[in-house]
């Protein structure tokens, strides 16, 4: 089930980076996936720096800041799927700086882009985070309670952020706060905060069900002072920037979910070809064969929906509905395919002898992060009157 690139016109540079990703996923990511999962709340710095050495932590950043120049969402989706066939959590970790970079590129000045993005392309790059979610605010991004109070040419940030990926390990955080809660979305403003800024603290990493390569923790902002030159865009511009970021990130996460679904399908198919019951390989039993057929069909469907959303974004077209559709279908495909892989392996699938049980735990997060499946359905349903 290699990535079906024969029907799309890829440049030699795109083919090169896909070859690199395929090799890196097979030789570097997959062999350490179990150990990283067992370590739970430890940051896998070794694989981070190994990926940085070959340009995989900065391939999505513009060349003008030292990145690889693959700024189009379509190529980023191709890369994400390949990396996540090695391991979903590690694949998501290695491309995390792209999520940080987008609001900087969307809202920041030329000086801010240089200041915040250039460090991400050096030989030993820092990790970064985007801080939106709060203990009482998840999908309602307009209802943030973290405050940003103007104080001369500075701002004072106060509040708590929850479930922040790479928190504690990150050197830079894009923090979304409100200058006035009464304004809802019109008050949301983005700031870049450095790790060592007085008043910023991070909890111990939280143990999780899956995707343990990405540590998560709470970030507390206790009267954190930042300069006006650390604000991205105008006051109130953060919400629009965040929504555009979600369109891109949901599409790329759909590619990630497609990657783990593809890995599960490949794994289960190979197992079914070798495992014998009742005198023949279990793939020759209709119940198993039909389940594998369903897995393969769903993988192809989620990939095509992901590519469609990516192409719309790259063309400058509205893509909120398409990105929501892609994430919805791909995340639920990932959950189905990993469940089906466990089912195909039977007792062995339930054991830690094989990776499929890990992939099923990892896949669950795809139905939750960047908006749950319920939220994706809400976005889609609200769009039907506009572009039915």
State the first-to-last Cα distance of the chain, in angstroms, to the nearest integer: 34
d(C-alpha 63, C-alpha 321), whole Å: 30
Q: Residue 1: which of 297, 266, 355, 304 has the closest Cα? A: 266
Shortest CA distance to 82 belongs to which of 19, 154, 32, 16? 19
Strand residues in the chain grouped as ranges (E)? 127-131, 147-151, 154-165, 170-178, 188-194, 200-202, 216-227, 231-232, 276-277, 280-281
Task: Enumerate the β-bridge partners of residue 193.
Answer: 173
Question: How many residues appear in the chain?
Answer: 388
SS3 assignment, position 249: helix
Is the Cβ–Cβ distance between 116 and 143 less than 8 Å? no
Q: With H, G, I as helix, E, B as strand and everything else as coil, classify residue 49.
A: helix
Please count the other Cβ atoms lying within 10 Å of the Cβ belonging to residue 207.
Answer: 10
Under 8 Å CB-to-CB from 166, ≥6 apart: which residues? 43, 93, 96, 127, 128, 129, 214, 215
DSSP 8-state assignment for residue 48: H
Buried b / exposed e along 342-371 (16+ C-beta atoms within 10 A): bbbbeeebeeeebbbbbbbbbbbbbbebbb
Place of tokens 């009482």: 136
Residue 300 annotated in active site = no
Full DSSP string of 66-119: TS----SHHHHHHHHHHHHHH-HHHHHHHTHHHHHHHHHHHH--HHHHHHHHGG
Quote the CA–CA distance of 377 and 375 in Å, as a whole number. 5
- The catalytic site residues sit at 370
């Amino acid at each position: 089930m290699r990535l079906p690139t024969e029907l799309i016109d890829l440049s030699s540079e795109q083919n090169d980076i896909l070859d690199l990703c395929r090799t890196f996923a097979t030789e570097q990511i997959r062999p350490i996936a179990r150990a990283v999962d067992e370590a739970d709340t430890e940051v896998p710095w070794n694989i981070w720096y190994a990926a940085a050495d070959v340009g995989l932590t900065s391939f999505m950043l513009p060349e003008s800041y030292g990145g690889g120049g693959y700024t189009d969402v379509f190529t980023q989706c191709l890369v994400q799927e390949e990396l996540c066939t090695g391991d979903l959590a590690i694949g998501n970790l290695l491309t995390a700086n792209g999520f940080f970079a987008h609001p900087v590129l969307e809202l920041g000045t030329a000086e801010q882009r240089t200041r915040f993005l250039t460090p991400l392309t050096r030989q030993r790059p820092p990790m970064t985070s985007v801080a939106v979610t709060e203990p009482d605010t998840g999908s309602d991004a307009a209802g943030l309670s973290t405050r940003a109070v103007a104080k001369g040419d500075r701002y004072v940030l106060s509040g708590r952020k929850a479930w922040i990926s790479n928190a504690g390990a990150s050197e830079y955080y894009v923090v979304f706060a409100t200058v006035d809660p009464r304004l809802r979305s019109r008050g949301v403003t983005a700031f870049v905060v450095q790790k060592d800024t007085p008043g910023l603290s991070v909890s111990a990493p939280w143990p999780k069900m899956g995707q343990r390569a990405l540590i998560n923790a709470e970030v507390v902002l206790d009267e954190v002072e930042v300069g006006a030159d650390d604000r991205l865009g105008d006051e109130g511009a953060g919400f629009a920037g965040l929504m555009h970021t979600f369109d891109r990130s949901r599409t790329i996460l759909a590619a990630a979910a497609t990657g783990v679904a593809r890995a599960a399908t490949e794994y289960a198919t190979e197992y079914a070809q070798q495992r014998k019951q009742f005198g023949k390989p279990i793939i020759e039993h209709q119940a198993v064969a039909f389940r594998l057929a369903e897995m393969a069909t769903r993988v192809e469907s989620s990939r095509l929906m992901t590519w469609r959303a990516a192409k719309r974004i790259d063309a400058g077209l509205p893509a909120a509905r398409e990105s929501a559709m892609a994430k919805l279908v791909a995340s639920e495909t990932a959950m189905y395919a990993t469940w089906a892989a466990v089912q195909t392996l039977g007792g062995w699938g339930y054991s830690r002898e094989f990776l499929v049980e890990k992939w099923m735990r990892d896949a669950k997060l795809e139905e939750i992060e960047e908006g749950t499946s319920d939220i994706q359905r809400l976005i889609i349903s609200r769009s039907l009157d506009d572009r039915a």
